[in-house]
Chains A and B, each alone.
Chain A
Amino acid sequence: AQSVSQHNHHVILSEAASLELGCNYSYGGTVNLFWYVQYPGQHLQLLLKYFSGDPLVKGIKGFEAEFIKSKFSFNLRKPSVQWSDTAEYFCAVKGNTGGFKTIFGAGTRLFVKA
Chain B
Amino acid sequence: KAGVTQTPRYLIKTRGQQVTLSCSPISGHRSVSWYQQTPGQGLQFLFEYFSETQRNKGNFPGRFSGRQFSNSRSEMNVSTLELGDSALYLCASSATGLLNSPLHFGNGTRLTVT
Cα distance A45–B48 in the bound complex, in angstroms: 18
Q: Is B89 an interface residue (CB 8 A)?
A: no
Task: Please name the residue on chain B nearest to A41 by beta carbon.
Answer: B107
Q: Is A90 an interface residue (CB 8 A)?
A: yes
Contact (Cβ within 8 A) A94 B99: yes
**A72: Cβ under 8 A from any B Cβ:** no
A-B contact count (CB 8 A): 64
Contacts of A98 in B (CB 8 A): 56
* A106: nearest chain-B partner, CB-CB: B42
Given A43-B106, A44-B90, A107-B42, A101-B100 contact (CB < 8 Å): no
How many residues of A are in contact with the other chain, CB < 8 A?
26
Complex partner residue of A99 from B43, B48, B105, CB under 8 angstroms: B48
Contacts of A51 in B (CB 8 A): 99-100
- Contact A100 B99, beta carbon cutoff 8 Å: yes
Q: Kindly state the separation between the CA atoms of A34 and B4 in the bound complex, as whole angstroms.
A: 19
Flag whether A26 is at the interface (Cβ < 8 A).
Answer: no
Q: What are 25 contact pairs spanning A and B, CB under 8 A? A: A30-B99, A36-B103, A43-B106, A44-B92, A44-B103, A46-B103, A46-B104, A49-B100, A51-B100, A94-B99, A95-B99, A100-B55, A101-B33, A101-B55, A101-B56, A101-B58, A102-B45, A103-B45, A104-B35, A104-B42, A104-B43, A104-B45, A106-B40, A106-B41, A107-B43
* A residues whose Cβ falls under 8 Å from a Cβ of B: 9, 30, 32, 34, 36, 43-46, 49, 51, 90, 92, 94-96, 98-107
Give 7 closest A-B pairs by Cβ, nearest first: A106-B42, A104-B43, A44-B105, A99-B56, A99-B55, A101-B56, A43-B105
